[in-house]
A and B are shown apart, each in its own frame.
Chain A
Amino acid sequence: MKGDFLISLKRAALLGWKNFYRESGLSFVAVFVLIVMIMLVSSLFLLSGIADALIRDVEGKADATIDFEIGVPEERIFEVQKEIEDNFEVNETEYISREQARVSFVERFGDRPEVMESLEEVGNPFPASVNIRADDPYVYRQISEFAEEEHGDLVYNVDFYNREEVIEGIFSITESMRRGGIITGTVLGILAILLVYNTIKLAIYSLREEIRVMRLVGSSNFFIQGSFVIQGAITGAMAGAISFVLLFLLSVLVPQPFNLTIEVSFYEQFLQMATFIALLQFGMGIFLGVFSSLIATSKYLK
């Protein structure tokens, strides 16, 4: 019994493969439709990955700086720094003394004599400051409010305000991208299933006479359906493989100006998500191929 099942399975697989390459016109159309759908959906996932990477990149670069009035003793600044560390979720804080600020300015502009001359004239105009980094950019707003309300007499300026709009803008864009991605992904997913199902349904409709003949010679439903399901799986796997190569090539070919930063490039992102994308594309292709074949053949096997 087990032997019969294995023989049937082997023969159904062989038939599925033969059907796939002999009906090359139909197979080409089915593979093409699947590729279009798989590419659309997997591109969305890749874009979503890019959005995440972009957010991480922006988060990594975002910081806030509290500049203190000149003359505020270091001890008072350390007290404020400690209060911030104790009361807010910050990753790190760094005290930069007036001298350190001057040194880093000199390092940066030392090759420009006119700037150095001006600096000589005014002495050290730089305030002592505390630089803050946090995961959640909304913490910056809270810290800024805290510094101004609680230590308004010590604080000269909070640099967060200058960047607030930029940071919020980027977050708003990435959030919209996420939401748009989910909606577009869902719509495309439904379209993909409908389109692929109808393509495979048409392909099997053209084979309905063959199914009738298969039944006439005493073929079981399992045997008939098995060969079409395997044909669907081969179609899906082929589409998955081609889509993977296409998406890889696209990620390599995206011109550099479109790569948002050096850290966030389509190619790097593709490499990072390669396993997930391969699983998604093959899984989607095989699932759609098998599911559509099952539904489309069952109509002729009642």
Chain B
Amino acid sequence: MIFFNNITKVYPPYLTKKEKVVLDNVSFKVEKGEFVSLVGSSGAGKTTLFNILLGEEEPTSGRVFIEDTDVHKASPADSCRIKRRIGTIFQDYRLLSSKTVYENIAYAMEVTGVSDEEIERYVPEVLDTVGLLEHAMHFPYQLSGGEKQRTAIARALIHDPDVILADEPTGDLDPYNAKEVLNLLLDINKEGTTVILATHNKEVINGLRRRVVTLKDGRVASDSKQGRFTL
């Protein structure tokens, strides 16, 4: 279970003289095995909420829990362990450009200290799942957008994580590849993995018929079980 408890994030004045409130008392829970879409226009605070959940940013106030662990009070070692329970997928893929597809995925396992034998067994399995086995030795610059995103999904899956955070994963993809990525996320969810999908794509949301949390002006504007795109 993930619990966002009264999260507020305020950025200090930068170019303008006013401070910017990105998240304003955001609270909601995500149960194990749920598929939740986080909807909001650009700048609504979806990515900030993900960064806070990953411990990459501190909330100005409020707390985030994964099970009983307060993400921002975890020790560095626990923080690493939390990140290994969360698979992340981003619109810009965030692959390691100097590593091949195989190495990008293997890296996520290497950092956890698993044996070389396990890496050699599981990486090809996951690559097969996302249909990238024949691209294993390619570098990211040799892949199409859809292939890059599938690599990112494979990397997110390699730990067999409890949660997948997908931030606009279809944003840079054509409709065919977008559908493929979405189907992969649904398949992952069927296996019991919690998926939180942040998007502002109306067709994607309306096609899913799953829980939708809508963020507007930094607040939770609506939270419906079988929601539709309402912005």
Chain A residues in the interface with B (C-beta under 8 A): 4, 7-8, 11, 18-19, 22-23, 209-210, 212-221, 223
Hey, what's the 0/1 contact readout for B53-96 against A, CB within 8 Å counting as 1?
Answer: 01010000000000000000000110011111000100000111
* Total chain B interface residues with beta-carbon distance under 8 A: 25
B122 at the interface (CB under 8 A from A): no
Complex alpha-carbon distance, A100 and B95, angstroms: 90
Q: Are B111 and A217 in contact (CB under 8 A)?
A: yes
Complex alpha-carbon distance, A8 and B77, angstroms: 14
Q: Are A8 and B113 in contact (CB under 8 A)?
A: yes
| A216-B98 in contact given A11-B110, A221-B76, A223-B111 (Cβ < 8 Å) | no
| A216-B88 in contact given A4-B113, A210-B96, A210-B97 (Cβ < 8 Å) | yes
Complex alpha-carbon distance, A214 and B95, angstroms: 9
Contacts of B159 in A (CB 8 A): 218
Contacts of B54 in A (CB 8 A): 216
Question: Closest residue of chain B to A3, judged by CB?
Answer: B113
B108 at the interface (CB under 8 A from A): yes
Contacts of B115 in A (CB 8 A): 7
Q: A18-B98, A216-B94, A218-B81 are in contact. List 13 more A-B contacts (CB 8 A).
A: A7-B113, A8-B113, A11-B110, A210-B97, A214-B96, A214-B111, A217-B107, A218-B83, A218-B108, A218-B112, A219-B107, A220-B77, A223-B111
Q: Are A219 and B94 in contact (CB under 8 A)?
A: no
| A209-B94 in contact given A4-B113, A8-B113, A11-B110 (Cβ < 8 Å) | yes
B155 at the interface (CB under 8 A from A): yes
Complex alpha-carbon distance, A223 and B77, angstroms: 12
Complex alpha-carbon distance, A197 and B129, angstroms: 44
